[in-house]
Structure 1
Amino acid sequence: MRTRQILGSLACGAVLLTGATGCSEESPGKPQPSNSGNSDKPNGGDNTGAASADLLKLGVEQGQAGKLDEAKATFEKVLDADENNKFAWFNLGFIAQSRNQNDEAISSYDKALAADASYKPALYNKAIALESTEPTKSVDIYRKVVSIDSKASTAYLRLGTLLSQSGDTAGARNAFSTAIRLDKRLASSVPAKYRAAPTASSSARAGR
């Protein structure tokens, strides 16, 4: 059985809890759900995997219905049978992060990443959770995200913001430029001074 990571209406018309790192339609200011990974299977044997998939599906449905406490309990049941299930850990992290429980969220994302160190949804949302308290670590994580997925437009956008805040103007400009190249709709989220200046020829044409 194929599994969906989880539910929701935060991004890409997607699923509640899973971190869409390359999607340009999500709000760049929030932790994101993900519509990736539908073909991934939970860890464990056939019976354990099937049971985990059924519980993940139930948790998704509960989350979509806004029953986050019930969804949380369901994902915890997945972990009772499959303690390294990255989807369940991620979704618990998303629930905690949506409730501003960042330490708990980061702990859950770390457990998801222990199962799969390149799991982009957990990396992306962990980076968001760390932006205000550990910006340097957040920058490192965003750089890992874009090394895994060169089309992760919102990761480039958030990376540019942190680099700008740290005084790395050149790095910020490169990150913002890449974000806009990947998705022109993100231009409105880029500070004006980092948007492409008009060329001399275009300025001359405009003055005619």
Structure 2
Amino acid sequence: MTRKTADTSKLLQTALQQQQQQDSGGAALTYKRVLEMDPHNRLAWYGLGLIAQQNGKTLDARAAYDKALKIDPSFMSALFSEAMMLKSSDPDRTMELLKRAVVAEPEAATIRMQLGLLLAEKGRTDEAGNEFRRAVAANPSLRSQVPEDFRDSVSPSPTSSQAGSIR
């Protein structure tokens, strides 16, 4: 590990501790120091995005998440955080981000559940049903969160007689 990498890693740990201690201002400054040393550090950009989002600075958060995603297009945390932040204001962008997240992490049940809910809101019931089935297959405890209209079509553990009937 190079000296620069070790310094960057130590600063990232410091920033995370500052965030955990509710010192978002200090954490933001530390993340910026990391970025001065390594402008392509996805974790620092993501951290800045979280802080901006927590402070209600949606545009700054989105810009930071986008920079993290430019560095790593399949960075799950940034995909999910940006998607959830934009859920009510930009559902189409949210669906795009969630679909990218599902490609990056096919077994991510919570992401599939969120995608299913958005698809159901858009009236895309077949796609929504598929996402709900995959979410429940990956995590059966999510079945109770599936909208009632879809609940009969999802089964956490299909019996042999049901297995063939699920489309």
1:84 aligned counterpart, secondary structure:
coil
* 1:88-167 equivalence runs, <5 A: 88-167=44-123
| Higher percent of residues as helix | 2
* 2:10 maps to amino acid: D
Q: CA deviation at 1:166?
A: 0.7
Aligned-pair CA distance for 1:196: 2.3
d(CA) in 1 for partners of 2:56 and 2:118? Answer: 20
The Cα offsets for residues 135-168 of structure 1, whole Å up to 9 and x where unpaired, read as 1121111111111111111110110111011110
Identity of aligned residues (%): 33
Q: Give 1:53 shift.
A: 0.5
What does the per-residue CA deviation read over 1:78-123, in whole Å, with 9 as the maximum and x for residues that have no partner?
Answer: 1111111100000111111223322111100111111111111111
TM-score normalised by L of structure 2: 0.86
Q: Give the whole-Å Cα distance in 2 for the aligned partners of 1:72 and 1:92.
A: 6
Higher relative contact order (CA 8 A, sep 6+): 1
CA contact (8 A) 1:177 1:195 kept: no
* Rounded Cα–Cα distance in structure 2 between residues aligned with 1:91 and 1:189: 29
Query: What count of residue pairs does the alignment treat as equivalent?
Result: 157
Runs of 4+ in 1 over 4 A off after TM superposition: none
- Partner of residue 36 from structure 2, selected from 80, 91, 94: 80
Deviation at 1:172, TM superposition (A): 0.9
TM-score (normalised: structure 1): 0.70
Kept in 2, the 8 Å contact 1:62–1:68? The answer is: yes
Q: Aligned runs of 1:4-83 on 2, under 5 Å? A: 46-83=2-39
Please report the RMSD computed on the Cα atoms of aligned residues, expressed in angstroms.
1.9
The answer for unaligned runs of 5 or more in structure 1 is 2-45, 203-208
**How far apart, in 2, do the equivalents of 1:173 and 1:181 lie?**
12
1:195 match? 151
CA distance in structure 1 between the aligned counterparts of 2:140 and 2:55, rounded to whole angstroms: 31
- CA distance in 1 between counterparts of 2:143 and 2:30 reads 40
Residue aligning to 1:17: none
Q: Give the C-alpha shift of residue 129 in structure 1.
A: 1.8
